[in-house]
Amino acid sequence: MSRCTATRVRYGVPQRSVSGPLLFILYTADLVNVIETHGLHPHLYADGTWIQSSCCPESVDTFQSTLSDCFDEVWDWMRSNRVQQTL
């Protein structure tokens, strides 16, 4: 039988914790707001975040600018909230 040891968690939520799903929702609520302020649609699940939207062909330049601004703000949010960033 293995013995469990207590570990102090400074950031994040321990895996398989009962409160994990609720804390995830509370923790990422601001991220959803950041994305939605740009008129984009966020989808968050477990350790993934997707940003979805569409535009007309004549609006591609404006849309690219909106995406770039949104990605910059998401990157800043992730850095300030100590979320690991992977591409």
The b/e string for 42-57 (b: 16+ C-beta within 10 A; e otherwise) is: beeeeeebeeeeeeee
Question: Containing domain of residue 54, as a range?
Answer: 20-80
Within-domain flag for 48: yes
Which is higher by pLDDT, 25 or 67? 67
Give the model confidence (pLDDT) of 33-43 as tens digits. Answer: 999 999 999 99
Within-domain flag for 69: yes
The answer to whether 70 and 38 have CB atoms below 8 angstroms apart is yes
The answer to whether 42 and 32 have CB atoms below 8 angstroms apart is yes
Q: What is the mean pLDDT of the chain?
A: 84
Within-domain flag for 74: yes
Domain count, the chain: 1
* Number of DSSP helices (H) and strands (E) in the chain, helices first: 2, 2
Within-domain flag for 36: yes
Distance CA 47, CA 31 (A): 13
